[in-house]
Amino acid sequence: MATTTTDIRDAVRKELESDQLVDRAGITVKNMSGDVALNGTVPSYPQYLEAAAAAKRVQGVTRVHNHLMVVLPAGDYRDDAMLTMTANNALTLNVIVPDGVEASASDGNVWLTGAVSYGFQRSAAEQTIAGLTGVRNITNDIEIFSDVEAADVTGLVQGAIDRYALIADDSDVTVDASDGTITLAGHVRTWAEHDAVIGAAWMGIGVSGVRDDLVVTG
């Protein structure tokens, strides 16, 4: 039986309702052939992230547009100076995030800047900030600089993809490296496969950027 637009929309709604980490009262779901849009409001940034993750878990969803806005309860509001200080203290305490990464806040929007050597350090900085009270959005402008050439990254990433049980043996995913940027193309069946491939690419030494041209078939 073919999955209809209504089926997918209802399935996403039910997944949001069953997710204890999301208050879906302010969320509306739209779907066009697996292309899902989330609109409305949530009370925290972690819920903003979790709502998109919940939608991606639903079979048939091929793309998620997260248009949710974070509207903080009055008790969770932090002024710019307080949130900036809290964010920078959290970054300092995270041993994975190198010195030189800094945060600045404006009306709950946190801007991350600085330079790191690896993609996982950039991700760690963002994850450190995501759970802080008072955060409404994050802009991650941390740059990745490495003295290591990415010439051999293509083989390393392809090898990691081949080892992942989540990726089908007949996968048509291709990996190409140019000036430290990895371009991923081809088809994956689920968002779990998609995220596994993206994660493998970012773990490569010398990778400064990942271009995601993957298609989720649903």
Output the pLDDT for position 148. 63
> What's the rounded Cα separation, in Å, for the pair 68 and 196?
25
Q: Which residue has the tokens 């999301």?
A: 22
Q: Which residue has the tokens 């041209």?
A: 213
56 membership: H or E segment, kind and range: helix 45-56
pLDDT tens digits in sequence order for the chain, 218 residues long? 445 667 999 999 999 999 999 999 999 999 998 999 999 999 999 999 999 999 999 999 999 999 999 999 999 999 999 999 999 999 999 999 999 999 999 999 999 999 998 888 999 999 999 999 999 999 999 998 876 655 566 777 777 777 766 677 677 888 888 777 889 998 888 888 888 888 888 877 778 888 999 999 87
Output the pLDDT for position 2. 46
C-beta of residue 142 within 8 angstroms of C-beta of residue 122 = yes
Say what the pTM is: 0.83
Sheet with strand 209-216: strands edge to edge: 174-178, 181-188, 209-216
All domains of the chain, ordered by start, with CATH? 5-70 (3.30.1340.30), 75-144 (3.30.1340), 153-216 (3.30.1340)
Q: Is 23 helix (H, G, I), strand (E, B) or coil?
A: coil
